[in-house]
Amino acid sequence: MPDRSTLTFIIGGARSGKSAHAETLATTSPPPWAYIATAEAYDDEMRERIALHRSQRSEGWTTIDAPLDLAGALEALPDNQPVLVDCLTLWLTNHMLAEHDLDLEYRRLADVLSQPRGPWFVVSNEVGQGIVPDNALARRFRDAAGRLNQQVAAIADTVLLMVAGLPLKVK
């Protein structure tokens, strides 16, 4: 039996098919599948998105909410469990709003992700290819997201860039 303990990092723009592709890849392994949701519903638009995503997932999925303690949620998983983390940019948003020490959080997360114990799929957004944002918070977020994406991509076994629903292999 091949070693299925690998980290796949899936990055792309909004509505580029990241989550759907990650689901397709995760479900090539037998269930049960773990879906680690980092979204926190701050408003109705967000609540709607979360409910829609949840209703679109097929049976066999268990949802684990981890808006902040993503490392802990990953550590609590059994071995060989296929998992989809959706997504890193929302997790980052939650930590920025809580004014946590990002470097510390990145390190904790990278420690866990560098030793995947199953077929792990992590989704994140590319947010840095537009015009420099007007406001300082958006620029800070953009920088922080870029740094986070680089760190995870560096330790991932496979990195895919999603373009219009199609994966482009980067690593």
Which residues are at the interface with a copy of itself (CB under 8 A)?
9, 11-17, 45, 124, 126-133, 136, 138-139, 141-143, 145-147, 149-150, 152-154, 159, 161, 163-166, 168, 170-171
For residue 125, give the 3-state DSSP assignment: strand
Neighbours of 127 (CB within 10 A): 20
Tokens 């879906």, residue? 35
Residue 20 · residue 165 · CB < 8 Å: yes
Q: Is the Cβ of residue 67 or residue 81 nearer to a copy of itself in the bound state? A: 67
The distance of closest approach from Cβ of residue 81 to a copy of itself in the complex, given in angstroms and rounded to an integer, is 25
Please state at what angle helix 88-97 crosses helix 136-155, rounded to 10 degrees: 130
Would you say 19 is a known binding-site residue? yes
21 is catalytic: no
Task: State the number of CA atoms in the 13 A half-sphere of 142 facing the CB.
Answer: 14
The distance of closest approach from Cβ of residue 139 to a copy of itself in the complex, given in angstroms and rounded to an integer, is 8
List, as residue ranges, the binding site. 12-19, 37-39, 54-57, 86
Annotated catalytic sites, by residue? 53
